[in-house]
Amino acid sequence: MLFDFLAWFYPWTKTLHILAVISWMAGLFYLPRLFVHHAEKGVENPHSDAMLQMMELKLLRLIMNPAMIATWIFGIMLASTPGIVDWVAIWPYTKLAGILGLTWFHHWLGKRRKDFVAGTNSVSGRTYRMMNEVPTLLLVVIVVSIVVRPF
C-alpha cells in the first residue's frame, strides 16, 4: 500500500527532491564563501564578526538544515519507489557515497560555524576556499551516477 502511494506520488517526490537538493547545494556553496570572509576580515572587526555570524547561522539553520532533511526524506522516498532504483547496479552506491560526503561536509561546516562563535576558528581563508570545491566534486559524482550510470 505504501509503495502504491509512492508510485502514484513519484512525479511530486522527484520534484520536491530536486528543489530540496538545489536549496541545499546553494547553501553548501555559499557558507564556505562566508567563512572565507569571516576568517580573513570578520574577526578583526566586531561589527563584521556579528553580521557574518548572523548570516552564517540563518543560512545554516533556516535554509541548509531543512533542505538537507528534505533531500534525505524525498531521496529515501524515491529510492523506495518500485522500479526506480536498480539495486544490482553500482551507480546507486556511488550516488550514496556522494550524498554521505555532502552530509559530512554539511556537518563539518556546522562545526566550523561553532568555532567562529566561540572565537576559536583556526582554519584559514585559503583552506575554506579549497574546501569550497568539495561539494562541486561530490555533485559531479552524484549527477554522473544518476544520469550517465556508468557502472
High-pLDDT (> 90) share of the chain, %: 85
Q: What is the distance in angstroms between the CA of the first residue and the CA of the last residue of the chain?
A: 32
**Among the listed residues 4, 149, 10, 143, the one whose alpha carbon sits nearest the alpha carbon of residue 88:** 149
Q: Cell numbers at residue 134, please?
A: 568539495
Please say if the pLDDT value at position 151 is more than 80: no
CB 39 within 8 A of CB 124: yes
Residue pointed to by grid coordinates 506520488 = 9
Residue pointed to by grid coordinates 564556505 = 32
Across residues 59-85, what is the average pLDDT?
96
The structure's pTM equals: 0.92
**Among the listed residues 35, 101, 115, the one whose alpha carbon sits nearest the alpha carbon of residue 68:** 101
Q: Per-domain residue ranges for the chain?
A: 2-147
pLDDT in tens, 98-134: 999 999 999 999 999 999 999 999 999 999 999 999 9
Please say if the pLDDT value at position 43 is more than 90: no
Length reported for the chain: 151
